[in-house]
Homo-oligomer: A and B are copies of this chain.
Amino acid sequence: MTSLLRRCSVLLLAAWLPLWGALAADAPPPMLGFAAPGASAEAALEGRFDALLDARDMRTWLERMSSAPNHIGAPHDKANAEFMLEQFRAWGWDAAIETFDVLYPTPRRVSLDLVGPHPYHASLLEPPIAGDRTSAHTQGALPPYNVYGADGDVTAELVYVNYGMPEDYKDLARRGISVKGRIAIARYGAGWRGLKPKLAGEHGAVGCIIYSDPRDDGYGAADTYPMGAGRPAQSLQRGSVADMPVYSGDPLTPGIGATQGAPRLERSAAATLLKIPVLPISYQDARPLLEALRGPRAPASWRGGLPFTYHIGPGPARVHLLVQSDWSQHPVYDVVARLEGSTYPNQWVIRGNHHDAWVFGAEDPLSGNVAMMAEMKALGALKASGWRPKRTLVYASWDGEEAGLLGSTEWVETHATELAAKAVAYVNSDSNSSGILGAGGSHTLQRLVNEVAAGVKDPTTGATVLARARAAKILESRRGGRDADRRLARALLDGGDLPLDPLGSGSDFTPFLQHAGVPSLNFGFGDDEPGGVYHSVYDSFDHYLKINDPDLRYGVALAEVAGHTMLRLANADLLPMRAADFATTIGRYVDEVEHYADGLRGETAEMHRLLDEHVYELAATGTEPVGPPAREVDVPFLNFAPLRNASGALQLSAQSFDAAYAAALAEPTRLTPTQVATVNETLRRAEQALLGADGLPGRPWYRHLIYAPGLYTGYGAKTLPGVREAIEERQWAQASDYTTRTANALDAYRRALDAATAALH
């Protein structure tokens, strides 16, 4: 407690720590899945684990691994994999590098010019910044580009499309503006980057430029680096534009591992490859282009932070965009290490973080990777002392995440059968920073995460990381302002568990959760800084220590959160999952989609009445009148009964199961090995029941019927996606179809639970 108080430098929180679950030295907190004796042993083990974590190790590894560019194909990327392999083995792990061969285009020629009315040649350069050492050592880095954009050499009028999301194209249509035959310039934000060129192409654009507006992550958000966390004027965001919401991984091998002899699609048949050329640029390079646009003034919500009036165009700005890539295959190097379980060697608890980056990647991804390495070193030391996990620990440092979750996806696809038979859970991390714990994942794991987070102290305040995360969620929910938000805030204040965020995409959990049905979690600390060096040269070691986590204290906290989670999953008597958390979350999602459909019906009817009565035309003022919105398809009443029935039955079954589970652990001596095996196998496989045989509409690779990345949000999660997105897209037959499919999956999940409950009685 003394050291805890000494670390509480910013705020004196000691007096009220009990209210928010300070770490009590005496009574161990409840521990889901463990009978009493096992819980005490587990707590002691986690204490030994924590004592073995060392921030200085992380700092050393971070500096080394981020010292040179480490994208796919870079020598330093391979060197990092080999360095880790050597370390993992030295720490006692059974480790190997697993290699896949993937399509990974790299730019041969890229250029961007404003050809008129005033010529401007885009620099596409991120210059050295004083105080940021690696920014002066970018030899071997790739030119800025968006991987999987098409080759192209186009000259056309420019059109500003705001964030380039579907709503933006509706706004353009109301102004009579089309991108057809033109080049769209979109700003980063509001949806996944790959959607911007995809939608631009679908609307007829011949090219796409994506720039970082200073309002979003530049000086409008924070002082620019090195003064603060804002994006410098010449900095730009690289990134993949593969159509990842269709499938992740190598574009040429959907659904199968990209091993050397694997059958491959022709490039022209690869659904995730973009059809038009695209280039990311800085706001320094974007400024002359945007300033040269005329045509209607951009609507208020489209205006960024550059000091002039934003116009939409088209033209008179004309732009020449050139992208030519080398479309070679490259190897990716996954470093996979095992620590075999003593009791259940065929039950795998998997942990991963990627190691490839866009340039140096100190924050993204190495900050998370070095925390994972610290866990592995500590676990290795425990092993050296004679300890073994009950279940097998599998730790993996993935390659090729940035291009499209390549390393993790190909590994999951290659080992699909084994994973279905053995995987218990997957715990992911990626970039880390400091502040508030973010936690997303399968809701059966929600209670586990709350218990783990209640046992890890926050380095800044000395409170638990759970207390801070709950406080942040309370304020965020209150800002949200909707009734559901306020109910959540009140529930949290009344002691309710921190809800896990549903997982969309954007990191390596996607193939595990959404393709293979492995219960998954994702962890990382963060704050509300703009992240203005994301995917730029300036995501460096110097930057990380200055801006993110100066003494790697949150690296230690991440290792504790992820490490404790892994240890509990590995050692629990019964797998630490609570069915009711999943069931009540499903109930909320069903409410949401029904409420959404009702709202959309009313909104559509009202909009049609406004159209019928010419309200839009009458209210339009100004010299640039905005036409009425397009008429939409009316929203019928949909039959949600199958979902309601499935959800209601699931909630009852979940309560029965959880009660039987708790009763069994209260008298562990009466549990037979068969009962344990039945319950654990049920829990291990339950999430697989949520996979649909045909996957989601138009994207069979995404099989999970509860969680998916949105087809039109990208990283953002859609829950009950088959139903929700069908309603959003006004596909009523599809909505009905997926209501039934999703209900059937929930029924299958429920029946498995019922069988396990019966086995426990």
Contacts and interface: CB of A to CB of B under 8 A. Distances in A.
A142 interface: no
Given A222-B297, A303-B220, A309-B223, A527 B621 contact: yes
A613 B19 contact: yes
Contacts of A223: 297, 309
Given A220-B309, A305-B305, A622-B529, A13 B614 contact: yes
Contacts of A222: 297, 309
Contacts of A621: 434-436, 472, 527-528
A219 B309 CA distance: 5
A619 B470 CA distance: 8
Contacts of A489: 606
A151 to B, nearest CB: 35
A618 interface: yes
Contacts of A610: 474-475, 493
A490 B603 CA distance: 12
Interface string A600-629: 000000100110011111111110010000
A228 interface: yes
A16 interface: yes
B493 A609 contact: yes
Interface in A210-246: 214, 219-224, 228, 230
A224 B472 contact: no
Which of A224, A434, A620 is most buried by chain B, counting CB atoms within 10 A of its CB? A620
A625 B528 CA distance: 12
Nearest to A614: B16
A461 interface: yes
Given A228-B309, A230-B309, A618 B461 contact: yes
B613 A493 contact: yes
A468 interface: yes
A261 interface: no
Which interface class (under 10, 10 to 19, 20 to 34, 35 or more) fits A?
Answer: 35 or more
Contact of A615 (B474, B616, B619): B474
A8 to B, nearest CB: 11
A130 interface: no
Interface in A1-44: 10-11, 13, 16, 19-20
A467 B613 CA distance: 10
A475 B307 contact: no
Contact of A19 (B300, B435, B614): B614
A463 interface: yes
Contacts of A221: 300, 309
A468 B618 contact: yes
Interface string A434-452: 1110000000000000000
Nearest to A300: B221
A322 B489 CA distance: 50
A306 interface: yes
B19 A471 contact: no
Contact of A527 (B219, B493, B615, B622): B622
Interface in A280-311: 297, 300, 303, 305-309
A435 B475 contact: no
Interface in A712-728: none
Contacts of A620: 11
A287 B31 CA distance: 58
A618 B307 contact: no
Interface in A463-492: 463, 467-468, 470-472, 474-475, 478, 489-490
Interface in A186-221: 214, 219-221
Contact of A618 (B303, B467, B528, B529): B467
Contacts of A618: 13, 20, 461, 463, 467-468, 470-472
Nearest to A303: B220
A616 B20 contact: no
Given A468-B619, A471-B618, A625-B10, A224 B309 contact: yes
Contact of A619 (B13, B220, B303, B474): B474
Contacts of A300: 221
A609 B614 CA distance: 49
A17 to B, nearest CB: 9
Contacts of A619: 436, 468, 471-472, 474-475
A619 B613 CA distance: 48
Contacts of A490: 606
Contacts of A434: 621
A435 B20 CA distance: 57
A474 B614 CA distance: 11
Nearest to A435: B621
A514 to B, nearest CB: 30
A170 B17 CA distance: 27
B472 A219 contact: no
A535 to B, nearest CB: 21
Contacts of A230: 309
Nearest to A627: B11
> Taking each of A19, A300, A616, A621, which has the highest tally of chain B beta carbons within 10 Å of its own beta carbon?
A621
A606 B494 CA distance: 12
Contacts of A615: 471, 474-475, 493
Interface-centre pick from A219, A463, A615 (highest chain B CB count, 10 A): A615
Of the listed residues A219, A230, A467, A471, the one surrounded by the most CB atoms of chain B closer than 10 A to its CB is A471
A470 B614 CA distance: 11
Interface string A518-561: 00000000011100000000000000000000000000000000
Interface in A380-413: none
Contacts of A622: 435, 527-529
A705 B713 CA distance: 51
A111 to B, nearest CB: 26
Nearest to A12: B617
Nearest to A306: B307
23 contacts: A11-B617, A11-B625, A13-B617, A16-B613, A19-B613, A19-B614, A20-B618, A219-B309, A222-B309, A224-B309, A307-B307, A435-B622, A436-B619, A461-B618, A468-B618, A471-B616, A471-B617, A471-B619, A474-B610, A474-B619, A475-B610, A493-B606, A493-B613
In order of increasing CB-CB distance, the 4 nearest A-B pairs are A471-B618, A527-B621, A435-B621, A471-B619
Interface of A: 10-11, 13, 16, 19-20, 214, 219-224, 228, 230, 297, 300, 303, 305-309, 434-436, 461, 463, 467-468, 470-472, 474-475, 478, 489-490, 493, 527-529, 606, 609-610, 613-622, 625
